[in-house]
Chain A
Amino acid sequence: MKLTCKVDVHHLSRVEGHGNITIRIQDGKLEEARWEVVETPRFFEAFLIGKKWDNAPWICGRICGICSIGHTLASIRAVENAFGIEPTEQTRKLRLLLKHMETLQSHILHLYFLAAPDFANVGSVFPLIETAPDIVARAARIKLLANDICDCIGGRRMHPTRTIVGGFTLLPTKDELRGHRDRLKEVMDDLVKTADLFRSFTLPDFIRETEFVSLKGSGQYPFIGGDLVSTDGVQKREQDYREMTNEYIVEQSTSKWSRLSRKSFAVGALARLNNNFELLHEWAREISLSFGLQPVNHNPYMNNMAQLVEAVHVAAESIDMIDELLDSEFSEPRQPVAARAGIGVGAVEVPRGILYHSYEFDDTGHIINCDCVIPTSQNHANIQHDLQELAEHYAKKGRKDRDIELLAQMLVRAYDPCISCSVH
C-alpha cells in the first residue's frame, strides 16, 4: 500500500491537442485526479451563422485535421437531411469507402505512432525508425495506402475537395479503384502482422464498468447514420441525438462534457465493437477473439485493440465494396440541391467515436443555428472518472509515481483524444 502520489503532466504528448493530468494522493486518500482540457476554443458553432449551406461542409471539415473526412461527411449528411436529399447507392458506397480509409489511416497512426511507443518504452516512434525499421515501414505502408485511396475518392487526404452536398464533384476511375483493391489485398497481411505485434504487448489490467454509446448497425457494422444505442439499453433516433449527449459545461475544461444513464459514458472503437460485435467482418471478429475481446469489455485500454479489429474490418469490407463498384455502371456523380427551411442532423462514427453535426436553415438556405458534438468531448467525463479510479487502484497496489504517471498517460492516449476537435 502506497500512501502518497503526485503526478503532473502539462500538455500531454502524443495526443491531438492540449490537455493536462494532475493526480494527488495524500495519506492513502485520493485528493485529486484531474483531466483538464486547456485548448483554445475556435467557435465554429458561432461563426457559421449567417453562412449559406454550401459553406458548411467546407468550413466544418476544418474542425479537425485528423478526421476532416468524417466532419465533412457528417456536415454533408446534416445538410442533406435538412433538405430531404437521399444519396444514391453509388454516393453512399463511395462515401463509406472514403470514410473507411480515414478510419484505417487514423487507427494505424494511433496504434503505431501514438500508442505503441508506450509499450516499447520509448518517447516517440522516431527511435524505432532505427531499432525496428520493418515495423515502421509496415505502419507507413498501411497508412500510405489508406491515404492514397482518400486522395483518389475525396480529392485529397485532408480537407477533401470532391465531397459535396448531393454527391461528388468527380468520380475515381475504375482503373484507379482496381489498383487500390489489389493493394488492399496485399495490406491484409500487414494487418495480421500488426495484430501479432500488439498481441506481444501486455495491456494494463484495469477495469471500470461504464456505458458505451455508438450508432446501431442494421445489417452492417455502422459508420454513417442510423439509430443510436447504448450498452445500458438506451436507444434513440439520429435526430434526437441531444437526448443521448446531454452536453453540459464544466469549469476544468474548455470542452463540454456529456452523460446519459450514469455519471459518464464512452464512445469510440470499443463502444462500437461492444454494441455491434456480431456485425464485424468475420476476419475482424476472429482477430478480436484472439485478443479475448468480446462484448461487453470494460477495460479502457482495450480501445487500442478495438481499433485494430476495426482496421481489419474496414480493409476487408472495402475490398468487397470496390468489387461491387467495379461491377456497377457509374452514374452521375452529383444530384441537384434545393435549399429549404428546416433542421438536419448528421451522425457519423469517426475514428474516436460518434460525431454529430446539426444545422437549422432558413428558407434561403442560410444557417441560423449550428451544433457540433465531438466524440472526444463525450469521452472527457469518462476519462476523468477512469483516472480517479485508476489512481486509487494502482496506488493501493503500491505502484511508483512514475508508473502511475505512465499508466495515466496511456489511459488518456487509449481514448485517442482529439482535443482541439473537442474544443471547436
Chain B
Amino acid sequence: MAGTTHNQKNFLGVPVAKPRVAFFELSSCEGCQLQILNNEATLLDFLSLVQVVNFREAMTEKSDDYDIAFVEGSITRKDEVERLRNIRQNARVLVALGSCACFGGINQLKNRFDPDWVKRKVYGNSPVDTDKAQPLEEFVHINLRIYGCPVRKEEVERIVTNLVIGKEIHHPRYPVCMECKANENVCLFDLGEPCLGPVTRAGCDSWCPNSRAGCWGCRGPADEANMEQMRKIMAEKGFSEETLIDRLECFGGFKDSVDRIRKGQP
C-alpha cells in the first residue's frame, strides 16, 4: 500500500520494486490527476503497483523522495518554473501528464493576446503575475509524455505498468481515423461535422467520434499527419478556415500548423 515499503511485486516470476510515485500540478484543471482517482474499477490494482508518496489532491503526507513524477498543467508563472526544476532534480523519470503539460493545453489560448491586455481584462488595474502559458519541455527535459485532455486512464495505467516492469513505451504513430474506422463509426464528415481525426495522434480509441462528436486534436499531431490533405478535406466539405483553426489551436499541439495557416503558407 501507499506509504509503506513491503510487498514486492512479481512480473513473470521476477521481483519488481515498487517505484515511488509523485503527482504534481501546475496551471491546470486537475482533471488529468482526477482521471486516475476516477478509475474506481482498477484504482486498487494500480495502487498495488506503485507507492504513492505525493498526491496533494488525495493525501496530506508529502515526500521529496520519489522515482517517477507525473506533472500536470502548463507553466504560466515564474514560481512554477522553480517548482518544476525541483521536481526534475528529484525524479528519475519525469512524465508530462496531459495536453497542458505536453503542449500548453487550453491555457495557451491566451498567448493569442497581449499579456497586459489579458491581465487587465480579468483583474482590471490590480497587479497579477502571469506569463505566457508554456509546455514543460520549454524548461526541463521530459522523459515521457502522456497525451490527452483529459488523459485516458486506461492508457495511463498501461504506461505506468510498462514503466514499472521496464518495458519500452510507444505511442501510436497513426491518426485517430484508424481507431475510428476500427470502431466502425459513421464518419462525422458524412454527417456534416468537422473532425481532426485525420491528423491527430491516436491512442484515445477515437473517444470523441465514438460519441458522434468531432475530434479537436487534443493529443496533438500524429507522426503520419498530412496537414495539406486535412486542409483540403475541410475546404471541400465547406468548413471555414476559422473552424479549422479553432480546432487546431485549441490544445496547443498544432501550433506550427496554425502559424503557417495564419501566415497564408501551405
Interface residues of A, Cβ cutoff 8 Å to B: 11, 13-17, 40-43, 45-52, 54-55, 58-59, 62-66, 68, 105, 109, 113-114, 117, 123-127, 129-130, 136, 140-141, 143-144, 147, 155-159, 161-162, 164, 169-170, 249, 251, 254, 420-421
Mark interface residues in B101-138 (1 if CB within 8 Å of A CB, else 0): 00001110110110001110111101010100100000
Does B208 make an interface contact (CB < 8 A)? yes
Is B17 an interface position by the 8 A CB rule? no
Are B110 and A124 in touch, CB under 8 angstroms?
no
Q: Which of A17, A155, A158 contacts B211 (CB 8 A)?
A: A155
Which residues in window 55-84 of B have CB below 8 A to A? 55-62, 76-77, 80
A64, A125, A169: which contacts B212 (Cβ < 8 A)? A169
Q: Are A158 and B35 in contact (CB under 8 A)?
A: yes
For B208, give its contact among A47, A113, A155, A158 (CB under 8 Å): A155
A52 touches B242 (CB 8 A): yes
In the assembled complex, which residues on chain B have CB atoms less than 8 Å from the CB atom of A109?
Answer: 37
Which residue numbers of B lie inside 8 Å of A, CB to CB?
Answer: 1-3, 25-35, 37-38, 40-41, 43-44, 47, 52, 55-62, 76-77, 80, 105-107, 109-110, 112-113, 117-119, 121-124, 126, 128, 130, 133, 149-150, 207-208, 210-213, 216, 242-243, 246, 250
Asked if A147 and B126 make an inter-chain contact with CB atoms under 8 angstroms apart, the answer reads no
Could you list 26 A-B pairs, sorted by A, with CB under 8 Å? A11-B56, A15-B57, A40-B76, A40-B77, A42-B106, A43-B110, A43-B121, A43-B130, A47-B109, A49-B121, A58-B250, A64-B31, A66-B31, A68-B31, A105-B38, A113-B37, A124-B2, A129-B44, A130-B1, A143-B40, A144-B41, A155-B211, A159-B149, A161-B211, A420-B25, A420-B29
- CB pair A123 B59 closer than 8 Å: yes
Contact in complex: A42, B110 (CB < 8 Å): yes
In the complex, how many angstroms separate the beta carbon of B217 from the nearest chain A beta carbon?
12
- Residues in chain A near residue B43, CB distance under 8 A: 140
Q: Shortest beta-carbon distance, B237 to chain A, in Å?
A: 16
**Smallest beta-carbon distance A38→chain B, Å:** 9
| A130 to B113 CA separation, bound complex (whole angstroms) | 51
A263 to B105, CA, bound (A): 37
B250 CB, min distance to chain A CBs, angstroms: 7
A364 CB, nearest partner CB in chain B, Å? 10
Task: Decide: B38 and A254 in contact? CB cutoff 8 A.
Answer: no
Given contacts A41-B128, A46-B117, A156-B207, contact A14 B40 (CB under 8 A): no
How far, in Å, is A370 (CB) from chain B's closest CB? 9
Contact of B28 among A47, A58, A59, A420 (CB under 8 A): A420
Determine the chain B residues whose CB is within 8 A of the CB of A155 once the complex forms: 207-208, 210-211, 213
Given A59-B250, A161-B211, 11 more A-B residue pairs with CB atoms under 8 Å apart are A40-B77, A42-B133, A43-B110, A49-B121, A59-B109, A64-B30, A65-B33, A109-B37, A126-B59, A249-B123, A420-B28
Minimum C-beta distance from B139 to chain A (A): 15
Chain B min CB distance to A415 (Å): 16
Q: A117 to B123: give the CA distance in the assembly, Å.
A: 37
With both beta carbons as reference points, the residue of chain A lying nearest to B76 in the complex is identified as A40
Note all chain B residues with C-beta closer than 8 A to A136: 44
Q: Tell me, rounded to whole Å, the shortest Cβ–Cβ distance linking A204 to chain B.
A: 18
B122 touches A129 (CB 8 A): no
Contact B246 A46 (CB under 8 A): no
**CB closest chain-A residue, reference B243:** A52
* Contact assessment for A123 and B61 in the assembled complex, using a CB-CB cutoff below 8 Å: yes
CB distance from A37 to the nearest CB of B (A): 12
Query: In the assembled complex, how far is the CB of residue B40 from the closest CB belonging to chain A, in whole angstroms?
Result: 4
Given A58-B250, A143-B40, A155-B213: A161 in contact with B207 (beta carbons within 8 A)? yes
Q: What is the number of contacts between chain A and chain B, taking CB atoms within 8 Å? A: 175
Check B29–A170 contact: CB distance below 8 A: no
A42, B76: Cβ atoms under 8 Å? Answer: yes
Whether A159 lies near B31 (C-beta < 8 A) is: yes
Chain B residues near A51 (CB-CB < 8 A): 246
B50 to chain A, nearest CB (A): 11
Nearest CB of A to B90, in Å = 16
CB distance from A103 to the nearest CB of B (A): 15
Closest approach, in angstroms, between the C-beta of B87 and any C-beta of chain A? 14
Q: Are B250 and A126 in contact (CB under 8 A)?
A: no
* Known interface pairs A43-B110, A169-B212; A157-B38 also in contact (CB < 8 Å): yes
A140 CB, nearest partner CB in chain B, Å: 4
B178 to chain A, nearest CB (A): 19
B77→A58 contact, CB < 8 A: no
Q: A14-B60, A420-B29 are in contact. Are A147 and B38 (CB under 8 A)?
A: yes
Q: Report the Cα distance A45→B33, complex, angstroms.
A: 24
Q: What A residues does B52 contact at CB under 8 A?
A: 126
Contact of A14 with B80 in the complex, beta carbons under 8 Å: no
Does B107 contact A42, Cβ atoms closer than 8 Å? yes
| A159–B126 CB distance below 8 A | no
Whole-angstrom distance between the alpha carbons of A421 and B77 in the complex? 17
Query: B34 contacts which of A14, A65, A144 (Cβ < 8 Å)?
Result: A65
Cβ contacts under 8 Å, A169 to chain B: 211-213
Q: How far is the CA of A143 from the CA of B42 in the complex (A)?
A: 13
Q: Which residues of B contact A113 (CB under 8 A)?
A: 37, 58
Question: Is B30 in contact with A45, judged by CB distance below 8 angstroms?
Answer: no
Given the interface contacts A140-B43, A161-B213, does A124 sit within 8 Å of B246 by beta carbon? Answer: no
Q: Which residues on the B side are within 8 Å of A48 (C-beta)?
A: 109
- Of A13, A58, A144, which one neighbours B59 at CB under 8 angstroms? A13
In the complex with contacts A40-B27, A43-B118, A254-B128, A126-B47 CB distance below 8 A: yes
Inter-chain contact A126/B28, CB cutoff 8 Å: no
- Of A46, A63, A249, which one neighbours B29 at CB under 8 angstroms? A63
User: Nearest chain B CB to A339's CB is how many angstroms away?
Assistant: 13
> How many Å lie between the Cα of A54 and that of B27 in the bound state?
24
* Residues in A neighbouring B243, C-beta threshold 8 A: 52
A328 CA / B131 CA spacing, docked (Å) = 52
Q: With the chains together, A55 CA to B60 CA distance in Å?
A: 37
- A65 and B124 contacting across the interface, CB-CB below 8 Å: no
- Known A-B contacts A45-B121, A46-B118, A140-B43; the reply to A65 vs B3 at CB < 8 A is no
The answer to whether B40 and A140 touch across the interface, beta carbons within 8 angstroms, is yes
